[in-house]
């Protein structure tokens, strides 16, 4: 084969492979939609919110408690992990002595690689009994929030840190030469520039938090209800899928796929938000 011809084939083959990732995402969406089609067809959307209970085998699809459960756990975890993560990154970049920063770096990197199931297990062994002492049974919304916070915290810290590092060094140099102090530089020079990147990172982590399954399942108690306080058990959309897929049939199974599709759409919208923010930034 002549080199020229070979190059042309190579281009085609590579392009083919590059399309596989598109095809696989297409398949994911295709299967979610076809599997949930049964319930979309037969059940009006209002039932998910207006039904009395979640008895999918008897045609009652009250998904609202699970949706609220997912949102509460996610929002709670984000509220805790965003400030802690950003402050830790500030410590790491600006306040800690360099030996401490390098220890912190190692530790956060290791923490971000630990499987969520280990955090979940540790939650069962330590956090749930601890919360149980205050208010039984311990498996609760709060336990879910704490465990999920631990899961997303290392990544948020890493993201915040890398964004602080990307801030234009020349601006910092100018600021120092103008005699600005540390606090002013962090608050007025660095933070405004990092804001957008931080927001993008936080949104992506929110997507990850709402998709987290087993760790949350392990500590949340999984009672289908709209919780009255943080000490009451909840069930999230993701746990619901994991718990019931084992025995779900027919329309019940279809309902589970539908909740998967809903999750997928939520995550998709979050990503779209970050992409649009990126485009706006490029346009500026």
Footprint on residues 221-260 left by another protein (CB under 8 A): 238, 241-242, 245-246, 256-257, 260
Least distance between another protein and beta carbon 78 (Å): 15
Return the residue of 49, 53, 79, 114 that touches another protein, per CB under 8 A: 114
Contact 93, 164 (CB under 8 A): yes
Cβ nearer to another protein, comparing 50 with 100 = 100
Return the residue of 68, 71, 96, 224 that touches another protein, per CB under 8 A: 96
Return the residue of 180, 223, 224, 277 that touches another protein, per CB under 8 A: 180
The angle formed by the CA atoms of residues 86, 90 and 92, to the nearest 5 degrees, is 115
From the list 44-52, 53-61, 131-139, 201-209, the region that binds another protein by CB under 8 A is 201-209
User: Is position 166 an interface residue for another protein (rule: CB under 8 A)?
Assistant: no
Return the residue of 178, 195, 280, 281 that touches another protein, per CB under 8 A: 178
Determine which helix (DSSP H) or strand (DSSP E) holds 54, and give its type and residue range: strand 54-55
Rounded to whole angstroms, the Cα distance separating 133 from 41 reads 47
Residue 106: Cβ within 10 Å count: 10
Contact 51, 62 (CB under 8 A): yes
Cβ nearer to another protein, comparing 40 with 104 = 104
From the list 38-46, 57-65, 136-144, 165-173, the region that binds another protein by CB under 8 A is 165-173
Measured on CA atoms in the order 88, 94, 99, 105, is the torsion positive or negative?
positive
User: Burial of 112 by CB count in 10 Å (0-12 exposed, 13-18 middle, 19+ buried)?
Assistant: middle
Q: For residue 241, which phi and psi values (nearest 5 degrees)?
A: -60, -50
For residue 275, is it left (φ>0), alpha (ψ between -120 and 50) or beta? alpha
From the list 37-45, 61-69, 108-116, 225-233, the region that binds another protein by CB under 8 A is 108-116
Contact 102, 176 (CB under 8 A): no
Give the per-residue contact string, 23-62, with another protein (x = CB under 8 A; - = no): -xx-xx--xx-xx---------------------------
Residue 62: Cβ within 10 Å count: 18
Footprint on residues 63-82 left by another protein (CB under 8 A): none
Return the residue of 41, 58, 183, 229 that touches another protein, per CB under 8 A: 183
Footprint on residues 116-155 left by another protein (CB under 8 A): 116-122, 124-126, 150, 153-154
């Amino acid at each position: 084969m002549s080199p020229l011809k070979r190059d042309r084939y190579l281009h085609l083959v590579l392009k083919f492979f590059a399309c596989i990732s598109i095809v696989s995402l297409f398949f994911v969406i295709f299967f979610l939609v076809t599997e949930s089609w049964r319930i979309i067809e037969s059940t009006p959307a209002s039932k998910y919110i207006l039904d009395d209970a979640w008895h999918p085998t008897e045609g009652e699809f009250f998904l609202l408690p699970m949706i609220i459960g997912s949102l509460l756990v996610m929002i709670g975890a984000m509220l805790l992990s965003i400030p802690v993560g950003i402050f830790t990154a500030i410590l790491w970049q600006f306040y800690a002595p360099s030996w401490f920063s390098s220890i912190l770096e190692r530790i956060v990197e290791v923490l971000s690689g630990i499987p969520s199931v280990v955090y979940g297990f540790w939650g069962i062994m330590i956090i749930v009994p601890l919360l149980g002492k205050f208010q039984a049974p311990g498996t609760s919304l709060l336990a879910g929030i704490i465990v999920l916070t631990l899961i997303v915290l290392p990544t948020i810290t890493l993201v915040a840190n890398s964004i602080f590092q990307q801030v234009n060094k020349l601006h910092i140099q100018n600021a120092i030469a103008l005699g600005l102090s540390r606090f002013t530089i962090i608050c007025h020079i660095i933070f405004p520039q990092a804001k957008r990147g931080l927001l993008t990172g936080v949104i992506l982590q929110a997507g990850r938090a709402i998709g987290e399954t087993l760790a949350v399942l392990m500590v949340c108690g999984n009672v289908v209800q709209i919780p009255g306080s943080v000490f009451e058990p909840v069930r999230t959309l993701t746990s619901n899928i994991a718990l019931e897929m084992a025995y779900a049939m027919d329309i019940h199974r279809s309902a589970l796929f539908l909740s998967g599709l809903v999750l997928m759409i939520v995550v998709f919208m979050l990503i779209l938000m970050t992409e649009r923010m990126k485009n706006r930034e490029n346009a500026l």
